[in-house]
Structure 1
Amino acid sequence: MENCLFCKIIDGEIDSDIVYEDEQVIAFKDINPQAPTHILIVPKKHISTLLDLDEEDNELIGHIYQVANELAQREGIAEDGFRVVSNCKEAGGQTVFHIHYHLLGGRDLQWPPG
């Protein structure tokens, strides 16, 4: 997608603090962190919203959660706990229309989140 911020990061057009990358996903530190650990896990395949997922994306979504687990271990937040969040559409808090998952931890997270 031509104007997609995350596609530009994936393509290397915009710098980011990348902490993980493989053939399916890229993960980088959020520029406006809401917790001591706040990493965005983004599939390289452009999918605008969670509503646009197809059955063929099931393996990709499972892989994203495996990456989240690995990053939680690396970041030292796995033992105490962490949160993985994905927002869908404007009312759900989505601001970049390329699905992504927020890995948050390093402090006590409240519920409901907001």
Structure 2
Amino acid sequence: MNNQDCIFCRIASKDIQANLVEETEHSLAFWDISPRQPIHILVIPKRHHTNILELTNNAPDELVDLMRLGTRIASDKSSGSFRLSFNTGAEAGQTVFHAHGHLTSKTPKDQLA
């Protein structure tokens, strides 16, 4: 269930190249092209779901996979302090209507003293 008009579906199908961090059977993580923190990685389900609510209601196994991938990457790349956030709907700031989490952190693990 992919939408060829959706940029994240095209990234998931490898039609558009992204700076890949890691992937699983159900999820894909890549660096945001307009980062707001030193670490800003997007974590998406490979199948199209409009938002996190739809993903939660229709594909809980994919949601668990996405959360595990996001937290594993956060553990590997951040100092231990991170945010994994989801915007649902235009009024909440969602601009790409494919479920995705923003993994952000101010301090990369390799910058710890």
TM-score, length of structure 1 as denominator length: 0.84
The unaligned stretches of length 5 or more in structure 2 are 108-113
Superposition deviation, residue 62 in structure 1: 1.8
Report percent identity of matched pairs: 33
Contact 2:56 2:63 survives alignment (8 Å) = no
Number of aligned residues: 105
Superposition deviation, residue 54 in structure 1: 5.3
Deviations 1:81-103 (A, max 9, x none): 10011001110101111000000
The unaligned stretches of length 5 or more in structure 1 are 108-114
Q: RMSD of the TM alignment (CA)? A: 1.4
Matching residue's letter, 1:82: F
Superposition deviation, residue 2 in structure 1: 1.7
Which shows bigger deviation, 82-91 or 65-74?
65-74
Superposition misfits of 4+ residues, deviation over 3 angstroms: 53-56
TM-score, length of structure 2 as denominator length: 0.85
Q: After the TM superposition, which residues 1-114 of structure 1 pair with which residues of structure 2 at under 5 Å, given as runs? A: 1-53=3-55, 55-78=57-80, 81-107=81-107
